[in-house]
Amino acid sequence: MPAADDVTAVDRHTDLHEPVLAWFDVHARDLPWRSPRCSAWGVLVSEIMLQQTPVVRVLPRWRAWLARWPAPADLAAADTAEVLTAWDRLGYPRRALRLKEAAQAIVDRHDGQVPADPQALRALPGIGEYTAAAVASFAFGIPETVVDTNVRRVIARAVTGIGLPGASLTRAEMRLAQALMPARTDRANRWNAAVMELGALVCTARAPRCDHCPLRERCAWRAAGSPAAQTPARRQAWAGTDRQVRGAIMAAVRADGSVDREGLAAAVAKTGRLGSHRPAPAQWDRALAGLLDDGLLTDQDGRLTFPR
């Protein structure tokens, strides 16, 4: 239930709509999943692939994926091994498993049609609050409030006046984002895409191009002198982590089809993906056990392969 000050916030910020929507009319990228001819399944696949993965890296894999599995039933019937191979180096390969599980659930529960209902979408494997809202809005024109890292950053700066949003999406942020939604359905759906695009192309995390921003004259952060954001907490390093070792093992299996468990270290070294890191035995065990437990690998009498 919105408080009185939220209503004030709406009155203060509805004037954001016109500049952002007008900017989007001119500067929106021509992405294939934005085409009116793109299926809901195409939108869903794009949203899964785009989770923590930049657009430019998704584009070629998305095209190949849709050409090979043009409908949920096609992916539901595919071998997991083929799916993991097609996922290639997109990262977070568990997403590929969940996408296949989602396809199976769509066949089982929704007669092979991607559901439009946000709650039904949210119930599918690998689909959280963001992705459910994005598919509902972009594929079906249901004006859910779509809040990704780009939207959070634009609102944090333009409205709240801080350099960067916090580590995790808060209820207050979500309520603010909802209060900023245009009232008309068509504008609300376009607003979702437009704010996201503004964050991706102009209001970027590292070096925002404020000179090109349609909100430069009314941005709260800029009005405050663009104060530096609070120093973010250090993230997990990459070199030497279990994640690096897991990724290297997956790369070895992708390259060779299968790998003898005894020769794992040699096969992985051949991929060159570990750099100078030489995992200790305990780390090999941990990484391998994790991949097996996640269903990303199977061990058939000492041969490691992708599951069928």
228 binds DNA (CB under 7 A): no
Given candidates 11, 30, 228, 234, which one binds DNA under the rule CB under 7 A?
234
CA gap 111, 109 in Å, rounded: 6
Looking at the DSSP assignment, which residues form a beta bridge with residue 259? 304
For residues 132 and 31, what is the distance between their CA atoms, to the nearest angstrom?
Answer: 20
**How is 253-278 classified by DSSP, letter by letter?**
HHHHSEEEGGGHHHHHHHHTTTTT--
Is 226 an interacting residue with respect to DNA (CB under 7 A)?
Answer: no
Nearer to DNA, 48 or 180 (CB): 48
Specify the long-range contacts of residues 303-306, CB closer than 8 Å, at least 24 apart: 303/258, 303/259, 303/260, 303/261, 304/249, 304/253, 304/258, 304/259, 304/260, 304/261, 304/264, 305/81, 305/253, 305/257, 305/258, 305/259, 306/80, 306/81, 306/84, 306/85, 306/253
Cα gap 151→285, rounded to integer Å:
40
148 binds DNA (CB under 7 A): yes
Residue 180 in the binding site for DNA (CB under 7 A): no
Stretch that binds DNA, among 105-113, 183-191, 227-235, 297-305 (CB under 7 A): 227-235
**One-letter identity of residue 231:** T
> CB 18 → DNA: shortest distance, Å?
21
Query: Are the C-beta atoms of 117 and 108 separated by less than 8 Å?
Result: no
**Shortest reach from residue 157's CB to DNA, in Å:** 12
Paired with 305 in beta bridges are: 258, 298
Residue from the set 129, 160, 174, 210 that interacts with DNA by CB under 7 A: 129
| Contact between 238 and DNA per CB under 7 A | yes
Q: Measured from the CB atom, is 10 or 104 closer to DNA?
A: 104
Kindly provide the b/e burial profile for residues 8-17, where b requires at least 16 CB atoms within 10 angstroms of the residue's own CB: ebbeebeebb
Q: Is 92 in the site for DNA (CB under 7 A)?
A: yes
User: Judged by CB under 7 A, does residue 199 bind DNA?
Assistant: yes
Is 197 among the catalytic positions? no
For position 52 contacting DNA by CB under 7 A, the verdict is yes
User: Cβ neighbours of residue 37 under 8 Å, at least 6 residues apart?
Assistant: none
Closest CB 126 distance from DNA, rounded Å:
5
Q: Would you count residue 205 as binding DNA (CB under 7 A)?
A: yes
* Binding flag, residue 259, DNA (CB under 7 A): no
Contact residue for DNA among 38, 86, 162, 200 (CB under 7 A): 200
Which range touches DNA (CB under 7 A), out of 2-10, 60-68, 190-198, 297-305?
Answer: 190-198
By CB under 7 A, is residue 190 in contact with DNA? no
Q: Which two tokens stand for residue 280?
A: 């200790």
Judged by CB under 7 A, the residue of 247, 253, 259, 279 near DNA is 247
Quick one: which of 9, 47, 118, 176 contacts DNA (CB under 7 A)? 47
Which residues partner with 32 through β-bridges? none
Residues that bind DNA (CB under 7 A): 31, 33-34, 46-47, 50-57, 89-94, 98, 125-132, 134, 148-150, 153, 164, 167-168, 170, 193, 196-197, 199-200, 204-207, 232, 234-238, 241-244, 246-248, 250-251, 273, 290
Show which residues are catalytic: 47
